C-alpha cells in the first residue's frame, strides 16, 4: 500500500470543538425560542456554517430572510469565538500528537482539511501549526462537504493523488466527501454513524500507523 499523505479534519478529530459549536448553536436557538439537542447537533458536524444555520432553522421551524441569516450566523460565530479563544493545547484530543509525530517520522505528509473558517485561530490556540504541511480550511473552498473540494485541494497542494491519501474524519458528510474524491477513509467515532468509512476507530488514542495501514 503506497500511502504518501494523511489529511485530517479538525473539529472532532484533532480537537473537541464540536462541543463549542453545539453550545453556540444552542444559545442561538434558545434566543429564537426553541430547544436544540445534542442529537440535532449530529446533523451539523462537518457541515458549513451557513448550511448548519439552515438546518437549525428547519429544526426550529423558523423562516427568515438572508439578511437575518447573516446576523444569526455572525452572532453564533461570536459566541463560538468566545469559547475557542480560550482554548489551550490541553484540548488536543488524546493520541493526536503521538500519531502525527509517528507518521511525520515515517515521511508521511500531513494536511488539515476543514470546513471551518476558524481553523487557523484554533491551530494557533492549540499550537499545532507545525504539524501540517498544508492547511485547507473554510476560507479556501467554495463547496462544502460532502463535496470533495477541500480534500482534493489538500491533495493537490501536497502533490499526491487521492488514492495515495487517507482522510481522517468524524462526520458522515466528511467521510462522504472523501469517498466522493477517491480517498481512503478512516472514520473517527462510532461505526453506527461512520459505517461508510473503510475503517472506523473510536479516536487516535493508542493508534499506531502499522495498525491503520494493516486494515487496508
Ligand atoms: C466543521 C464543523 O469543521 O466546520 C461544523 O464540523 C462547522 O460543525 C463547520 O459548522 C464550519 O465552521 P466555522 O468555524 O467556519 O463556523
Ligand atoms: Mg469534524
Residue 216: pLDDT band by 50, 70, 90 thresholds? confident
Average pLDDT over residues 125-146: 96
For residues 169-173, give the mean pLDDT. Answer: 94
Q: How far apart are CA 211 and CA 113, in angstroms?
A: 23
11 catalytic residue (yes or no): yes
For atom 12 of ligand 1, the residue with the nearest CA is: 116
Check the CA dihedral 69-52-95-105 and report its sign. negative
Q: Residue 100 is placed in which grid cell?
A: 502525527
pTM of the model: 0.95
Is the minimum distance from the CB of 117 to ligand 1 under 6 angstroms? Answer: yes
**Read out DSSP for 90-130?**
GGBPTTHHHHHHHHHHTT-EEEEE-S-TTHHHHHHHTT-GG
Q: What is the pLDDT of residues 92-102, one digit of tens each?
A: 999 999 999 99
Amino acid at each position: 500500500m503506497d500511502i504518501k499523505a494523511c489529511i485530517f479534519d479538525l473539529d472532532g478529530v484533532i480537537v473537541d470543538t464540536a462541543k463549542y459549536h453545539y453550545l453556540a448553536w444552542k444559545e442561538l436557538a434558545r434566543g429564537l425560542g426553541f430547544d436544540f439537542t445534542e442529537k440535532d447537533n449530529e446533523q451539523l458536524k462537518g457541515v458549513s456554517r451557513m448550511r448548519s444555520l439552515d438546518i437549525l432553522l428547519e429544526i426550529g421551524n423558523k423562516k427568515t430572510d438572508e439578511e437575518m441569516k447573516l446576523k444569526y450566523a455572525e452572532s453564533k460565530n461570536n459566541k463560538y469565538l468566545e469559547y475557542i479563544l480560550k482554548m489551550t493545547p490541553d484540548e488536543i484530543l488524546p493520541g493526536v500528537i503521538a500519531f502525527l509525530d509517528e507518521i511525520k517520522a515515517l515521511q508521511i505528509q500531513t494536511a488539515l482539511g476543514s470546513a471551518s473558517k476558524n481553523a487557523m485561530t484554533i491551530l494557533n490556540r492549540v499550537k499545532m501549526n507545525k504539524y501540517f504541511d498544508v492547511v485547507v480550511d473554510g476560507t479556501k473552498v467554495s463547496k462544502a462537504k460532502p463535496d470533495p473540494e477541500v480534500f482534493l485541494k489538500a491533495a493537490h497542494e501536497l502533490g499526491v493523488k487521492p488514492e495515495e491519501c487517507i482522510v481522517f474524519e468524524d462526520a458522515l458528510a466528511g467521510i462522504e466527501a472523501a469517498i466522493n474524491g477517491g480517498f481512503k477513509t478512516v472514520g473517527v467515532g462510532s461505526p453506527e454513524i461512520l459505517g461508510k468509512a473503510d475503517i472506523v476507530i473510536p479516536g487516535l488514542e493508542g493508534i499506531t500507523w502499522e495498525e491503520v495501514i494493516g486494515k487496508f
